[in-house]
Amino acid sequence: MATEVKVPVLGESVTEATVGEWLKQPGEAVAADEPIASLETDKVAIDVPSPVAGVMGEHKAAVGDTVEVDAVIALIEAGSGAAAKPAAAKEAAPAPAAAKEEPAASGDTVTMSPAVRRAVLEHGVDPTTIKGTGKDGRLTKEDVLAAAKAKETAPAAAQATAPSPAPVAATAAPGRNTERVKMTRMRQTIAKRLKGAQENAALLTTFNDVDMSAVIEARNKYKDLFAKKHDVRLGFMGFFAKAACLALKDVPSVNAYIEGDEIVYHDYIDISVAVSAPNGLVVPVVRDADKKSFARIEKDIANFGQRAKEGTLTMEDMSGGTFTISNGGVFGSLMSTPIINPPQSAVLGLHRIDERPVVVNGEIVIRPMMYIALSYDHRLIDGREAVTALKIIKEAIEDPTRMLIDL
């Protein structure tokens, strides 16, 4: 008798998800609690485990389908590993419909998420030659990009002897290919939330520039000892998180929400940190940042970054948050106007560090400078308050001792 596999509880107020990929195909052996499918919710990807051991039966939903909590998405047939198809048969079996867009491989079957599949198509790499670094050895978008970069830097002679990937569509005109891909649920949610922030909030951005000399000096002086003691790299985010905590304590409206006709103030500081994931930008939350040490903050951020890459962040990791820090500088951004993350009322944008001429004590000197931006909801936060908060952050970064003595 077949066992039904149902959509698990996805999180508070989340009632549906999209089938992102099937990790097991009909006929393959399945162990109890082994992931058989990946579902995409508004925020994260969730693996669906098999309730029993057996053989993968019929898929009741296709990749891209929207499924509700408790809906039956697959069947697990009775049997053991011996009843599953042998490896040779697996390789000879036709690829699922979602894989038709993939370049021709050497005969191996590679399970890829939509984001990874798009990267494979865009860069024309053979996914079967790439070693996956994601969960259970799955390919990530970063794996594909690294392989594409290696391919570009390889000697021309080596490229000439390498097999060319099959074209996406045999009937397409050379150099004029197009691809239509449905937006992932996460990307749809990001689009709705950002557009909603623009429509519902009175957004304004104030800027300042920061001399990074003191932080860079402190980081260079202590980074080795810090890494040895705490087993984590000393980055810049810890400094900015602590500086932001000073600002939010002095200007509490920047750490508040608007709910209806009320203002909700928080006596705690939970900082959402924007990190890149294969399917888009996610904002896990460093909770009680004002009470945590530099080391604890850096460990939390490093952990979030790794789990975002692996696709293992949970709903709980990203729920809440009273203020956001987004670092576009890691991608080379000089200046930007970040958009708030509703229901939050403000977001701090960090940018790249450039050596620029500045005037210090009447003399022109070269200093490592960074533009910082604070976007805020003008319905709640006045210009004076926004400028004051950003100035506090600037002063704390230029004189890190302030963070130690709470000034």
CA distance 372 to 353: 10
Q: Which two tokens stand for residue 270?
A: 């939970």
123 is catalytic: no
CA distance 298 to 118: 32
Cis peptide before 252 (omega within 30 of 0): no
Select which of 317, 382, 399, 406 is catalytic.
Answer: 382
59 is catalytic: no
H helices present in 173-236, as ranges: 185-200, 213-230
Select which of 33, 65, 378, 399 is catalytic.
Answer: 378
SS3 267: coil
Nearest CA to 128 out of 106, 150, 145 is that of 106
| DSSP state string for 118-153 | HHHHHHT--GGGS---SGGG---HHHHHHHHHHHHH
Neighbours of 339 (CB within 10 A): 20
Nearest CA to 116 out of 137, 159, 145, 95 is that of 145
SS3 393: helix
Residues belonging to the active site: 378, 382
